[in-house]
């Protein structure tokens, strides 16, 4: 098992700098479908599935190892190493915005040049003096909603996860099952995502960062984006006039434009 098969890595495009797109909770690399191709003419475009999601090697999901986001960050760096990428921009959505932050902190100096955080939140739960947007009971409700939607999953979905994408019938099923994953893994990842707290990691980040904030996002609301902007000196905050937690799906063109502007403004060494 290599990092490339483990994380179902796909590479397109050409360029000196690689954009590594990391999907968020609940989905896989197909989330970037409306955004990533726009960069293929100037950048190497690297897409991956977090272990446990999409076409990753689900068997590699060891709950003990993935009990912290750092494990996913280490996976991302393993992919960067495996592809021998010399210059990297990490683009992370939702929980993977924090995975990208952790990866940038842990990466060897000079490799990760920039970060693009799409709908990021360093902590989803409210805390003393901090509004994350959610209480613990809300997260329990989410887990219940996930359970309710996974009834009958195991029997129907197991063969797909075992991996027979070459069979058309199963491929169709795979399309239908888009953004579904093993319920036990999904539950675990939901807990790691929504109960985690990465505020303490922010001062350790010294990489130029763009925060892409959806104007109306219940999961990562504007005050959270502003909090991040304050905590990351020198970061850029761009509020996209869109609704929901996935601006790269609901407003792909403005998302592309904002990333382009941010990267274009980068001093080329």
Partner 1 sequence: MTPPDDASLPALDLRLTEENLDDLYEHAPCGYCTCLPDGTLVKLNQTLLGWLGYRRDELVARRCLQQLLTVGGRLHYETHCAPLLLLQGQVREMSYLLRRRDGSTLPVLLSAALVREPDGTPLAVRVSLFDITERRKYEQELLRAKVQAEEQREQLARANEQLRAKNEQLTRINADLDSFVYTASHDLKQPINNMVGLFEELRRSVTFHDAEAGPMMSMFEDALAQILATIDGLTQVVQLQRAMEQVPAEPVALLPFTEDIIRSLQPAPAGTRFELDFAAAPVLRIARPGLHSLLYNLLSNALKYAAPDRPPRVRVSTARTAHATVLSVQDNGRGIDLTRHHRELFQLFRRFHPEVAGTGMGLYLVNRLARQAGGRVEVDSAVDAGTTFRIFLPQEEAGDSTPDARPLAAPPGPLSEKERGSQATR
Question: What is the bridge-based pairing of β-strands 18-22 and 88-93?
Answer: parallel
Task: Extract the tokens encoding 61.
Answer: 């999901």
From 23, 75, 94, 121, the catalytic residue: 94
| 142 membership: H or E segment, kind and range | helix 136-148
**Does residue 246 bind partner 1 (CB under 8 A)?**
yes
Residues in the chain, how many?
Answer: 269
Pick 31 or 111: Cβ nearer partner 1: 31
In the list 9, 17, 20, 26, the residue contacting partner 1 (rule: CB under 8 A) is 26
Pick 24 or 55: Cβ nearer partner 1: 24
**Does residue 141 bind partner 1 (CB under 8 A)?**
yes
In the list 81, 138, 162, 233, the residue contacting partner 1 (rule: CB under 8 A) is 138
Cα dihedral 108/35/245/143 (nearest 10): -70
Q: Whole-number minimum distance, CB 65 to partner 1, in Å? A: 21
* Sheet of strand 236-243, all strands in order from the earlier edge strand to the far edge: 10-12, 44-48, 18-22, 88-93, 112-118, 209-216, 236-243
**Does residue 145 bind partner 1 (CB under 8 A)?**
yes
Give the binding-site size for partner 1 (rule: CB under 8 A).
Answer: 37
**Does residue 41 bind partner 1 (CB under 8 A)?**
no
Return the residues of window 157-186 that contact partner 1 according to CB under 8 A.
175, 178-179
**Residue range at the interface with partner 1 (CB under 8 A); choices 65-73, 143-151, 226-234, 261-269:** 143-151
Burial class (CB in 10 A: 0-12, 13-18, 19+), 110: exposed
Strand partners, 47: 10, 21
Cα dihedral 63/65/66/71 (nearest 10): -170
CA 4 to chain centre: 17
| 216 membership: H or E segment, kind and range | strand 209-216
Q: Is 216 a catalytic residue?
A: no
Cα dihedral 93/164/75/179 (nearest 10): 20
**Residue range at the interface with partner 1 (CB under 8 A); choices 56-64, 83-91, 157-165, 240-248:** 240-248
From 72, 93, 245, 248, the catalytic residue: 245
In the list 42, 65, 191, 216, the residue contacting partner 1 (rule: CB under 8 A) is 216
**Does residue 144 bind partner 1 (CB under 8 A)?**
yes
**Residue range at the interface with partner 1 (CB under 8 A); choices 6-14, 106-114, 140-148, 201-209:** 140-148
**Does residue 94 bind partner 1 (CB under 8 A)?**
yes
**Residue range at the interface with partner 1 (CB under 8 A); choices 37-45, 67-75, 201-209, 216-224:** 216-224
The answer to whether the CB of 216 falls within 8 A of the CB of 243 is yes
Q: Is 94 a catalytic residue?
A: yes
Coil/strand/helix, residue 113: strand
Q: Is 229 a catalytic residue?
A: no
Chain residues in the site for partner 1 (CB under 8 A)? 24-27, 30-31, 33, 94, 134, 138-149, 151, 175, 178-179, 194, 216-219, 242-246, 249-250
**Catalytic machinery residues:** 94, 217, 245
């Amino acid at each position: 098992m290599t990092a490339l098969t483990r994380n179902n890595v796909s590479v397109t495009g050409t360029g000196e700098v690689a954009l590594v797109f990391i999907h968020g909770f609940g989905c896989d690399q197909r989330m970037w479908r409306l955004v990533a191709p726009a960069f293929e003419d100037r950048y190497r475009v690297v897409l991956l599935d977090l272990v446990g999601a999409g076409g990753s090697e689900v068997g590699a999901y060891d709950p003990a190892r993935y009990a912290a986001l750092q494990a996913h960050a280490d996976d991302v760096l393993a992919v960067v190493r495996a592809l021998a990428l010399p210059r990297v921009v990490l683009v992370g959505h939702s929980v993977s915005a924090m995975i990208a932050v952790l990866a940038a902190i842990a990466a060897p100096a000079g490799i990760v040049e920039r970060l693009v955080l799409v709908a990021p939140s360093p902590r989803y739960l409210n805390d003393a003096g901090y509004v994350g947007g959610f209480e613990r009971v809300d997260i329990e409700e989410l887990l219940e909603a996930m359970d309710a939607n996974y009834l009958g999953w195991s029997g129907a979905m197991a063969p797909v996860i075992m991996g027979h994408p070459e069979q058309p019938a199963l491929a169709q099923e795979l399309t239908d099952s888009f953004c579904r994953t093993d319920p036990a893994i999904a539950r675990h990842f939901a807990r790691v995502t929504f109960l985690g707290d990465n505020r303490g990691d922010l001062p350790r980040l010294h990489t130029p960062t763009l925060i892409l904030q959806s104007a109306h996002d219940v999961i990562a609301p504007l005050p959270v984006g502003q909090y991040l902007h304050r905590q990351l000196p020198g970061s850029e905050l761009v509020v996209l006039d869109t609704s929901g937690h996935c601006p790269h799906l609901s407003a792909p063109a403005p998302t592309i434009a904002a990333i382009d502007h941010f990267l274009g403004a980068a001093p080329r060494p």
